[in-house]
Amino acid sequence: MAILPDPFQEAQRIIAAAETSGLTFRLLGGLAVWHHSPSASHRALRRAYPDLDFVLGEKRSDRAEYLLTELGYVAHKSFNLLNGDRRMLFSDTAQERQIDVFVGGFRMCHTIPLLDRLPLEPITLPLAELLLTKLQIVELNEKDVRDVAALLLDHPLGGGDAEMINLSRTAKICAEDWGLWKTVGLSLDRAEQHVRSFPLEPQASATIRERMQELRRALDEAPKSLRWKLRARVGERVLWYELPEEVRRA
């Protein structure tokens, strides 16, 4: 079957083919937000989805590369050779679409532990981890803020995972990693300022900002690990994040 022009249908095709091959692919990024959040189509939050981003649950970059090549994609050979233990890139020249695969976990500005949680959703990451993959971005841009806003507008914070952002899970992850906690806090501050300028209905804007504040309180109040406390003593004197190389499309 040829590569499908509709990005979400194509993502489903890849996930189904991966499952048949014994691999676990889960969608992340803006398209995953769109799948869960009707508000992503709101005129104030709408954006394009030119690429597909996946987490591969297994450390099997060789099998993933074979699968995606069989599905019609062209591997970025030099990038994959150097980075294939953690990340791979593929292209669909007809659709001008790039596929980004995080191998065996998610690591960008920060590492988000999620492998044991992949079975919770059949297509995407669970919402808590999906939100954190956005908030861990040090240089948060407007499209990322739109995604964060859509997630928070459409999903309450609570104790579960079914179309809900698992607050205890989110707080626990950040309570283990001071650097992630720091960046998430800064991202929430930045996102809240952006949301104030979006042409949203007053109640929608208020809901997003209230949930941002609720999340921030939970992150601050969660009991912190010894590792978190030791790193907090060092603070901003040592860089607490990575800036991953921005890979432009071929």
Residue 192 has pLDDT above 50, yes or no: yes
- Give the model confidence (pLDDT) of 99-124 as tens digits: 999 999 999 999 999 999 999 999 99
Q: Return d(Cα 16, Cα 22) in angstroms, integer.
A: 10
- Give the model confidence (pLDDT) of 25-74 as tens digits: 999 999 999 999 999 999 999 999 999 999 999 999 999 999 999 999 99
Number of H-type helices and E-type strands within the chain:
10, 9
> Which is nearest to 18 in space by CA: 78, 87, 101, 80?
101
List alpha helices for 113-201, DSSP H: 127-135, 142-154, 167-175, 178-197
> Which is nearest to 45 in space by CA: 131, 141, 146, 135?
146
| pTM score, whole prediction | 0.95
Q: Percent of the chain at pLDDT above 70?
A: 97
